[in-house]
Amino acid sequence: MMNLVLQTALSDTGNWIANIFFYIIAAVAVVAALKMVTTNNVVHASLYLLVVLSAVAATYVILGAEFAAATQVLVYLGAIMVLLLFGVMLTRAKIGAETDLDYDQRWIGALVATALGAVMMYSLWEGFGDVTMPAEQVPQRTEAVADEIFSTYIVPFEALSVLLLAALIGAVVVARRD
């Protein structure tokens, strides 16, 4: 029976399976995001954030954007989350529930988050609502990404580089004691 189901799924295009995996990954991301803001332990919250970021990387893989997925893992999981965990564990690494993590203005926060989500969803829907995935999914070539970055998007790319450099120098200036 199971065999039959799998074979019908595969004799069709791969989209059927890709859809199932997308919904599983999306569900994991949403649940982890909710747990991240409701958990009462700082380290648990950062670990849930990690799950959300990995789920985003997994959706990139499903969309055939290998380079973006690998970059997501290298930058967010390998560097930013490690630094975040490092910082949290150095400063307030209590095991068990904490009581002072709640905040009075959480309802305003929820409102702002919902509004922001709605705006983003609306703009995505307006822009790409009628775009369908090609039946035969071809992974994006890394060379194509590089060509786009260094021709069409060269100005924003360089501007971002300068911005990051400024932030880096700023961080060094703030951290220096002398």
Partner 1 sequence: MIELAYWQETILKLVFAFVAVLIPAGLTVNLYLFKMVSFMQSRLGPMEAGPFGSLQLVAEVGKWAQKEDIVPRRADEFVYKASPYVVLLSTFLLVLVVPFGPDAMFANFGTGIFFAMAVSSVSVIGILMAGWASASKYSLLGGLRAAGQLIAYELPLVLAVVGVVIQAGSLNLQDIVMAQHNGEIFGWGAIGNPFILTQFVGFMIFLIAVQAELTQTPFDMPIAESELVSGYMTEYSGFRFLLFFIGEFATANIFAFLGATLFLGGWSIPPFLMDIIPGLAPELDATGAVLSEGGNSAAGMSPWFNLIGPLVMLVKMLALTFIVYWVRFTYPRFREDQLQKFAWKVLIPISLVNIAVTGVLKVVF
Q: Does 40 bind partner 1 (CB under 8 A)?
A: no
Report DSSP state, residue 7. Answer: H
Per DSSP, 178 falls in state -
Can you tell me whether residue 23 is helix, strand or coil? helix
Residue 96 interacts with partner 1 (CB under 8 A): yes or no: yes
When asked if residue 78 is in the footprint of partner 1 (CB under 8 A), the reply is yes
Does 92 contact partner 1 by CB under 8 A? no
Least Å distance between CB 50 and partner 1? Answer: 7
Does 95 help bind partner 1 (rule: CB under 8 A)?
A: yes
Residue 149 within binding range of partner 1, rule CB under 8 A: no
Closest CA to 92 of 49, 46, 43: 43
- Among the listed residues 148, 125, 129, the one whose alpha carbon sits nearest the alpha carbon of residue 65: 148
Q: Tell me how far apart the alpha carbons of residues 113 and 115 are, in angstroms, rounded to a whole number.
A: 5
Question: Which position among 18, 31, 67, 98 is part of the footprint of partner 1 (CB under 8 A)?
Answer: 67
Q: Closer CB to partner 1, residue 80 or residue 116?
A: 80
Comparing CB distances to partner 1, the nearer of 24 and 89 is 89
Answer whether 36's CB lies under 8 Å from 53's CB. no
Q: How far is the CB of 63 from partner 1 (least distance, A)?
A: 14
H/E element holding 42?
A: helix 42-62
The C-alpha atoms of residue 76 and residue 78 are separated, in whole angstroms, by: 6
- Binding residues vs partner 1 (CB under 8 A): 3, 6-7, 10, 41, 43-44, 47, 50, 66-67, 70-71, 73-74, 77-79, 81-83, 85-86, 89-90, 93, 95-96, 139-142
